Amino acid sequence: MANTTLENDALKIDNEKGNFKYPESYSFDAGVGLTADTVEYISKVKEEDEWIRDFRLKALKVFQDKPMPTHWASKDLETIDFDKIRYYLSKGQKPSRTWDEVPDDVKETFERLGIPEQERKFLAGVEAQFDSEASYSRMKEDLEKEGVIFVGSTEGLMKYPEIFRPYFGKVIPTADNKFSALNSAVFSGGSFIYVPKGVKLKQPLQAYFRINAENFGQFERTLIIADEGSEITYMEGCTAPKFETATLHSAVVELVALKGAKIQYITVQNWSNNVFNLVTKRGLAEEDAEVRWIDCNIGSRLTMKYPGVVLKGEGARGEVLSIALANDGQHQDTGAKMIHLADKTTSNIISKSISIGKGRSTYRGQVHMPKHLKNCKNNTECDALLINTNSRTDTYPAITTRGENNTVQHEASVSKVSAEQIFYMMQRGLSEGQAMSLAVNGFVNDLMRQFPMEYSVELKRLIDMEMEGSVG
């Protein structure tokens, strides 16, 4: 990225910022390549029960049998060499409990991300993941008192099988797609969260992910269950160091919102520009429940991510708000899925994308309303902003509607920053870069305002980092 040249000097972006790399010292390493042995090794190291091992092995078979989805997706997927990827890597450390125990280099990452110490302390629990294992996990005592469970994936399945097993792999079945199968075979890390009935978490739970080993794919697995009437906000953000060869990130995130529960899941994705980010995210909303995905994709080489909500109970609500920024060499293939399965369900999708240089952003969406449903509503808005003459954007929604009194509306528009706007601002003394930055901020501003404060601050910082060089 550092060597790429943009047509417009005003838009040159310093991509070295946010590139971190630290020495590696891994005590557990499954080697490269993926076979049944790799899977058994992972399961053995993690001391898992037999059923989990069987689940992994079955998933491996599905992964190997499924073809690459290149009949509709980018051919770039074919460049992934599954034999050169490390599928498991652990520091061999138990999740640490206090801030002091967190390795300094991880702290440094937080520092560069610009999360102030004060804010960090304020946030309820911080689950920072260093490669496969949670390197730091902490929950405030009052959260524990309320019965909230916040653990890693293996721990969750081993210690609380009665809570997590019934939903594990149910929202996103192993065979959902090739990459959900891959994750099911080699998952490690991630968060398993249970919020008991009626508990409303005031502060968001947070986890930062980082990749820090060459050729190492991160396969975290997250399952959040919000019991009846409970509320939770979960924040996930990631930065990754820059490597020469591509790395693979393939997560599976399942959300279950039981009757009247609310889950808000927030992601800042800022992997380095050689990461394939192929993630499956889906939420299940029971009666009157609400699942909201806030998704922001700034990094990675290719991101394919379509957060979905299955609206299973009457009156359920689903929402996806997303911002994607594609720079040179990047393809942000993102979107949303809304599957309506009950009457009076409503869903809302708002997607904004910005393509810079030769960047390409794609919106893929699915809205499904089967027959015999009544009074369902969907609203979809996709806006794309193209900065340079060779930027590219695509929109591919798929909408199926049946039933009575259902309303679906989809709107998409493509525009550029208008020359008049830039001229107007420059004429009042702003530089071209400043004007451009303001215009881009204005484009995403109305969506950003809907995000939680700490998220929008960080997001603005990341977008500014991408647009850097255009200012001044």
Partner 1 sequence: MSTTFPSTEKNESSPSHAASALPAWFTERQALGRERFDALPMPSAKDEAWRFASASKLDPEILQTVEKAPAPNRTEEAMQRSVLVNERSGKAVFVNDQCVDFEPVSEELQAKGVRYLTIEQALQSEAALLEKYLFQQKTELGSEKYFELHAAFLKAGSVLFVPRGVEIEAPFVNYHWLDGEGACAFPHTLVIAEDNAKVSLVDVFFSVDGESKGFAAGVSSIIAGAGAKVFRKVVQDWNESTVSFQLDNTSAGRDAEVKSVAVNIGAERARFENQVTIEGAGAHVKLYSLTVAEKRQEFDQRTLQTHNAPNAVSDLLYKNALLDRSRTIFSGLIRVAEGAQQTDAYQTNRNLLLDPTADANALPGLEILANDVKCSHGATTGNVDEDELFYMMSRGIDRRTAMQLLVFGFFEEIIEKVESDELAEGLRTLIHQKFEKKIRSKQLV
Interface positions with partner 1 (CB under 8 A)? 71-72, 371-372, 374, 384, 386-416
Between helices 36-45 and 178-186, what is the axis angle to 10°?
A: 50
Tell me how far the alpha carbon of residue 374 is from its chain's centroid.
32
Nearer to partner 1, 81 or 446 (CB): 446
Q: How many helices (H) and strands (E) does the chain have?
A: 11, 23
Beta carbon of residue 10, minimum distance to partner 1 (angstroms, whole number): 15
How far apart are alpha carbons 7 and 152 in whole angstroms? 46
Beta carbon of residue 349, minimum distance to partner 1 (angstroms, whole number): 13
- Report the 10 Å Cβ neighbour count for 195: 29
- Answer yes or no: are the C-beta atoms of 291 and 254 closer than 8 Å: no
How far apart are alpha carbons 190 and 169 in whole angstroms? 14
Nearer to partner 1, 66 or 392 (CB): 392
Amino acid at 329: G
Beta carbon of residue 338, minimum distance to partner 1 (angstroms, whole number): 13
Nearer to partner 1, 294 or 382 (CB): 382
How far apart are alpha carbons 350 and 230 in whole angstroms? 25
How far apart are alpha carbons 201 and 374 in whole angstroms? 33
Nearer to partner 1, 17 or 402 (CB): 402
Nearer to partner 1, 75 or 202 (CB): 75
How far apart are alpha carbons 13 and 73 in whole angstroms? 28
Nearer to partner 1, 117 or 404 (CB): 404
The owner of tokens 């806030």 is 294
- Report the 10 Å Cβ neighbour count for 69: 14
Beta-bridge partners for 302: 276, 331
* Sign of the four-CA dihedral 97, 98, 99, 100: negative
Nearer to partner 1, 35 or 400 (CB): 400
Mapping DSSP onto H, E and C, the string for 8-43 reads CHHHCCCCCCCCCCCCCCCCEECCECCCHHHHHHHH
Beta carbon of residue 386, minimum distance to partner 1 (angstroms, whole number): 4
Beta carbon of residue 78, minimum distance to partner 1 (angstroms, whole number): 18
Which ranges of 89-152 would DSSP assign to H, the alpha helix? Answer: 104-113, 117-122, 141-145
- Answer yes or no: are the C-beta atoms of 267 and 296 closer than 8 Å: yes
Nearer to partner 1, 245 or 407 (CB): 407
Q: Which of 347, 422, 410, 426 is nearest to 385 (CA)?
A: 422
- Answer yes or no: are the C-beta atoms of 273 and 299 closer than 8 Å: yes
DSSP state of 204: P
DSSP state of 218: B
Beta carbon of residue 174, minimum distance to partner 1 (angstroms, whole number): 21
Beta carbon of residue 353, minimum distance to partner 1 (angstroms, whole number): 11
- Answer yes or no: are the C-beta atoms of 465 and 16 closer than 8 Å: no
Beta carbon of residue 302, minimum distance to partner 1 (angstroms, whole number): 17
Beta carbon of residue 372, minimum distance to partner 1 (angstroms, whole number): 6
Tokens describing residue 370: 């089967």
Helix (H), strand (E) at residue 419: helix 419-427
Nearer to partner 1, 75 or 372 (CB): 372
Nearer to partner 1, 239 or 327 (CB): 327
Beta-bridge partners for 341: none
Q: Which of 365, 309, 57, 314 is nearest to 171 (CA)?
A: 309
Beta carbon of residue 378, minimum distance to partner 1 (angstroms, whole number): 9
Instruction: Sort strands 308-311 and 275-285 into parallel, antiparallel or unpaired.
Output: parallel
Nearer to partner 1, 183 or 330 (CB): 330
Nearer to partner 1, 73 or 246 (CB): 73
Beta carbon of residue 76, minimum distance to partner 1 (angstroms, whole number): 16
209 in helix, strand or coil?
strand
Beta carbon of residue 367, minimum distance to partner 1 (angstroms, whole number): 9
